[in-house]
Structure 1
Amino acid sequence: MKIFYEDNHIIVVEKKPNQPTQEDASNDYDLLSEVRDYIKVTYNKPGNVFVGLVHRLDRPVGGVMVFAKTSKAASRLSDQVRTHKLDKIYTAVIQGALEPQTLRDYMLKNRKTNMSRVVSKNTPEAKYAELVILNSFYNAEHNLSTVNVSLITGRSHQIRVQFSSRNHPLWGDARYNPQAKAGQQIALWATTLTFDHPTTKERMTFESHTPDRYPFTL
């Protein structure tokens, strides 16, 4: 497990692609359990070890995440998520060309299929979704664009759905890109995480580099 930073209150790590953030029906070794086991073994802690889950990444997505090591830190970081003070920037590779802009939609999640879609704002249970495309670099030869995305809200599969709904699905997205091929790894990575330290209030930024593989290498 790659650790970017750790103190008595928080631990910042890199999630591996295809690892669940927390325990799910697959029973695969999830990151939350890995962090908990690391703390338990490293510091020889008896009994149950507290690790607070503050935010999530979709299973196929890798990148930087922060976990809380105390309930106070968990509460304060969760407040930052709610008030949009915890900033998340992603790097994605999408099909086609799309200029920097703000995408605003309403989304609805189907809990049976675990898939989301863009719907009318008047749809019952629809939730507002917003992201900002900070920049976009188009590769005409491959008809792909590398984009940096600032996630304003945190809806289920939000980045994947908002781009797909505009006919610019993410490369390798098995759920929302009908052109994705078997064996491809979704081109979405949580590259930057910025938040206020829960006790010192220091503004902290951590970066996780995209993998050295296609199509991130375009």
Structure 2
Amino acid sequence: MSSKILSNKDNLQVIFEDNHIIIVNKRAGDIVQGDKTGDKPLSEVVKEYIAQKYNKPGNVYLGVVHRLDRPTTGIIVFSKTSKALPRLNKLFADKEAKKTYWAVVKNAPPKNADTLTHWLKKNPKNNKSYAHNKEVNESKKAILHYKTLKKLDRYILLEINLETGRHHQIRSQLSTIGCQIKGDLKYGFDRSNKDASIHLHARHLSFIHPVKKEPIQVTAPLPKDPIWDACTA
């Protein structure tokens, strides 16, 4: 698996690029697409990178394939061609892209490894998803698989594989079993991280290239901080 940073211009960490796809390692605080904050989105930064690298005049095509929450870090895939975008969209929609996340939590889960099944209901007023043990009105079924990777001095490192992709799924489901993610005030952690990040990282991704039909596997380097450093020590 690749974890090499191909480009770090203007702190944009490119971990894979070819004619059709560009994959970057999102920083905490970056928004993938523009929103009501008016902050410059990651998609625009990537467009500028492509325009400068390839000396492209005019508008640069870039398709957004999926998203990560603003305080979350890790792998984001963009499409560089209109040919690849619908194929990538279908690949992600059909769960053919295998995504693995790492999360640092304060409390050990009830089991070292388990499958969590809840019904999540989003409250748009506070942009939060609430997990229920039974189906409720307007809820969506959410399934994830976790295992304990490492026990740190004060925290636990979990690896998570998603079976569904719901709003704030990992954050909500882990919080429900008492495993709040470090820094995640919204879902019950007791204090924020200084950089407003949470310790949730999209670590690995594997899929079949939508045009070349070759296997792609990438690993996103972890953010630099003492807790993440301890996870790989």
- Contact 1:94–1:146 under 8 Å retained in 2: yes
Which of 118, 142, 145 in structure 2 is aligned with 1:105? 118
For 2:78 and 2:157, locate their aligned partners in 1 and report how far apart those are by CA, in whole Å: 28
Q: Does 1:199 align with 2:202?
A: no
- Contact 1:19–1:30 under 8 Å retained in 2: yes
Equivalent residues in 2 for 1:41-190, closer than 5 Å: 41-98=52-109, 99-119=112-132, 121-139=134-152, 141-142=153-154, 144-181=155-192, 183=194, 185-190=197-202
Q: Does 1:14 align with 2:59?
A: no
Give the corresponding residue for 2:15.
Answer: 4
Q: What percentage of aligned pairs have identical amino acids?
A: 37
Task: Evaluate the alpha carbon distance shift between residue 208 and residue 179 of structure 1 in structure 2; reply closer, same or farther with a 3 A threshold.
Answer: same
Equivalenced residue count is 216
For 2:21 and 2:172, locate their aligned partners in 1 and report how far apart those are by CA, in whole Å: 31
Instruction: Give the drift of 1:216.
Output: 2.0
For 2:147 and 2:193, locate their aligned partners in 1 and report how far apart those are by CA, in whole Å: 30
The farther-off stretch of 81-90 and 178-187 is 178-187
Residue type at the aligned position of 1:124: N
Give the corresponding residue for 2:220.
Answer: 208
Instruction: Give the drift of 1:178.
Output: 4.1
Secondary structure of the residue aligned to 2:88 is helix
Q: TM-score, normalised by structure 1?
A: 0.92
Q: Could you list the runs of 5+ residues in structure 2 that have no partner in the other structure?
A: 1-11
- Contact 2:172–2:187 under 8 Å retained in 1: yes
Instruction: Give the drift of 1:41.
Output: 2.5
Secondary structure of the residue aligned to 1:77 is helix
1:113-149: CA deviation from partner (whole Å, max 9, x where unpaired): 111111354322211111111433233x41x210111
Displaced runs of 4 or more, over 6 A = none
Secondary structure of the residue aligned to 2:113 is coil
Equivalent residues in 2 for 1:20-31, closer than 5 Å: 20-31=31-42
The farther-off stretch of 156-165 and 177-186 is 177-186
Residue type at the aligned position of 1:12: I
Instruction: Give the drift of 1:199.
Output: 0.7
Q: Could you list the runs of 5+ residues in structure 1 that have no partner in the other structure?
A: none
For 2:197 and 2:139, locate their aligned partners in 1 and report how far apart those are by CA, in whole Å: 29
For 1:41 and 1:80, locate their aligned partners in 2 and report how far apart those are by CA, in whole Å: 29
The farther-off stretch of 130-139 and 10-19 is 130-139
Instruction: Give the drift of 1:59.
Output: 0.3
Q: TM-score, normalised by structure 2?
A: 0.86
RMSD of aligned alpha carbons: 1.6
Task: Evaluate the alpha carbon distance shift between residue 209 and residue 42 of structure 1 in structure 2; reply closer, same or farther with a 3 A threshold.
Answer: closer
